[in-house]
Amino acid sequence: MNTSMYINGQTVLGTGKTIDVINPATLDVIASVPSTTSEQLDECVAEAKRAFASWKNVDDQEIVQAFYAIAEDVLSYKYELAQLITLEQGKPLFLAEVEVDLTVQWINYIAGLTIPVEKFQDINGKKITVYNRPLGVIASITPWNWPFMIAAWHLFPAIKTKNCVINKPSEYTPLSTIKFIEIINKHLPAGVCSVILGDGQIGSAFTAHPDIEKVTFTGSTSTGQRILQNSINTLKSVVLELGGNDVGIVLDDVDIEITCQKLFMSAFLNAGQTCACLKRLYVHDKIYDQVVQKLTEIINAQVIGEGMASTTTFGPVQNKMQFDKVQRLIEDAIEQGATVIQSIQTKPEKGYFIPPTLVLDASEDTAVVEQEQFGPILPIIRFSDVDKVLESTNQSEFGLGGSVWTKDLEKAQKIAERMETGTVWINSHADLSPEAAFGGWKLSGLGYSFGLGGLLQYTHKQSIHLTEA
Ligand code: NAD
């Protein structure tokens, strides 16, 4: 297993401190990776800048062919990559394979996009052409929940628009990204795509670097705010995909069986560690008890364990910090008088395992409802007046996603339009599309990703005005 950074098309050995990568299911140290030094960071950015001088003129078709070849190559390593994801992140192997498949889908979609050139005559008859030009060297910083797929969300739009990009994966989950960037480098010139390693300290120096033109970041709101502060001196632009506290509103006409299966996946996929997963569920009073009962049945059918075991359906929380945070929220909910249901008791003794947990009758000012939990815990709140739910949930400081669940699609559309979030789903939640803009309102983000609009965030405009001599 390669545990080194990858700079200018070459593996670069570490000279500074190292960070252990821990399997969250067993607590075994599975690798030790070097932290990039500030000299290595400077060298990496300088090499990327040098590579940009020719990459910015690359032919579009060369990029398309390279992306298709990378997608194929990623698929040929699917099992190895999925294993790395499971070992470092904890999710069951079948879900890690889904992560690789979705990544390939994203790469192929981005390959097929065309960067538009706008030509027109202005009101005085002058010919104007507006181009979308590459920016230069892009910094990408990724989190530990979907480490492989989110890396692709950053890297491929940046490269497609003829930038050079350097990624820093989370220090908790660097291994699948290192392998990914090794594969990418088989198909691209040296310096176009590199990886540096380390924690927030090198991340901070990276985002403040004067030769970085843009930062694309997925992670917590507090880190996003620090990155934005770092961008002031050089006026670098940023895309920030941050935290959320997504609301789901279930009306009283739904099919309980089908809806609860989907609600379970929406809230507990990846042990609840997904930015846009369902984090607060409002259920109509008439069906509240039935929904709780059905969700409990679905939870009881889960097998909690190490992701590599073929029977496992539910993995651990990824790291101790997040494990402690979720445990504290559970204890607080109990202290505040809520009913906490942890119906599965069977779990491995070692590892950061928390069974899927339902919290009933919590008041709206309880921490588990107000804060983003980012773990396997779902507060379910009873309601009878949807206007009141919208009024209170729209006051959230977050605005990432929301969902409405009903057979009445007209009513659903009206409710969706009143939700103050970047994405609203009707009868589903968190099923993202590479074609639809995705970004958070309020403290959930700045800028957006996906689709042609997301791609063009990696460009700046150049208007050429042509007047006959
Ligand atoms: P985090 O902010 O702690 O870390 C994310 C990345 O930032 C890591 O690579 C980390 O090393 C780096 N980092 C830490 N401090 C830094 C600094 N000062 N400067 C630059 N980089 C720094 O977040 P996390 O704990 O890894 O991820 C969980 C959070 O991410 C949750 O809040 C979740 O909602 C959010 N998230 C959002 C999305 C989205 O698309 N909106 C997706 C996934 C996760």
Question: What does the pLDDT look like over 243-300, one tens digit per residue?
Answer: 999 999 999 999 999 999 999 999 999 999 999 999 999 999 999 999 999 999 999 9
| Predicted pLDDT at 170 | 98
- When pLDDT is averaged across residues 114-126 and rounded to a whole number, the result is 97
- When pLDDT is averaged across residues 341-351 and rounded to a whole number, the result is 92
Question: Predicted confidence band at 107 (pLDDT cuts at 50, 70, 90)?
Answer: very high
Structure tokens of 425? Answer: 């789903």
| Predicted pLDDT at 1 | 85
Question: What does the pLDDT look like over 209-232, one tens digit per residue?
Answer: 999 999 999 999 999 999 999 999
- When pLDDT is averaged across residues 4-17 and rounded to a whole number, the result is 92
Distance (angstroms) between ligand 1 centre and the Cα of 463 equals: 36
| Predicted pLDDT at 219 | 98
Question: What does the pLDDT look like over 402-448, one tens digit per residue?
Answer: 999 999 999 999 999 999 999 999 999 999 999 999 999 999 999 99
Which mutation among 91, 275, 432 tests ligand 1's pocket best, with the greatest number of atoms within 8 A of CB? Answer: 275
Question: Predicted confidence band at 16 (pLDDT cuts at 50, 70, 90)?
Answer: confident
Distance (angstroms) between ligand 1 centre and the Cα of 220 equals: 4
| Predicted pLDDT at 344 | 87
| Whether residue 440 has its Cβ less than 6 Å from ligand 1 | yes
| Predicted pLDDT at 2 | 86
Mean pLDDT, the chain, rounded, equals 97
Task: For residues 113 and 158, give the distance between their C-alpha atoms in angstroms, rounded to a whole number.
Answer: 13
**CB burial class (10 A; 0-12, 13-18, 19+) of residue 57?**
exposed
| Predicted pLDDT at 28 | 98
Residue minimizing CA distance to atom 27 of ligand 1:
219
SS3 for the chain, per residue? CCCCEEECCEEECCCCCEEEEECCCCCCEEEEEECCCHHHHHHHHHHHHHHHHHHCCCCHHHHHHHHHHHHHHHHHCHHHHHHHHHHHHCCCHHHHHHHHHHHHHHHHHHHCCCCCCEEEECCCCCEEEEEEEECCEEEEECCCCCHHHHHHHHHHHHHHCCCEEEEECCCCCCHHHHHHHHHHHCCCCCCCEEECCCCHHHHHHHHHCCCCCEEEEECCHHHHHHHHHHCCCCCCEEEEECCCCEEEEECCCCCHHHHHHHHHHHHHHHHHCCCCCEEEEEEEHHHHHHHHHHHHHHHHCCCECCCCCCCCCECCCCCHHHHHHHHHHHHHHHHCCCEEECCCCCCCCCCCCCCCEEEECCCCCCHHHHCCCCCCEEEEEEECCHHHHHHHHCCCCEECEEEEECCCHHHHHHHHHHCCCCEEEECCCCCCCCCCCECCEECCEECCECHHHHHHCCEEEEEEEECCC
| Predicted pLDDT at 240 | 98
- When pLDDT is averaged across residues 8-27 and rounded to a whole number, the result is 94
Residue minimizing CA distance to atom 30 of ligand 1:
219
199 C-beta neighbours (distance < 10 Å), count: 14
Task: For residues 31 and 83, give the distance between their C-alpha atoms in angstroms, rounded to a whole number.
Answer: 14
Does this model's pTM top 0.75? My answer is yes
| Predicted pLDDT at 15 | 87
Q: Could you list the active site residues?
A: 241, 275
Question: Predicted confidence band at 161 (pLDDT cuts at 50, 70, 90)?
Answer: very high
Cα 152 to Cα 155, 159, 164, 362: the distances in Å are 5, 10, 14, 38
Does pLDDT of 450 surpass 90? yes
Distance (angstroms) between ligand 1 centre and the Cα of 405 equals: 30
| Whether residue 141 has its Cβ less than 6 Å from ligand 1 | yes
Residue with tokens 């339009």: 417
- When pLDDT is averaged across residues 171-191 and rounded to a whole number, the result is 98
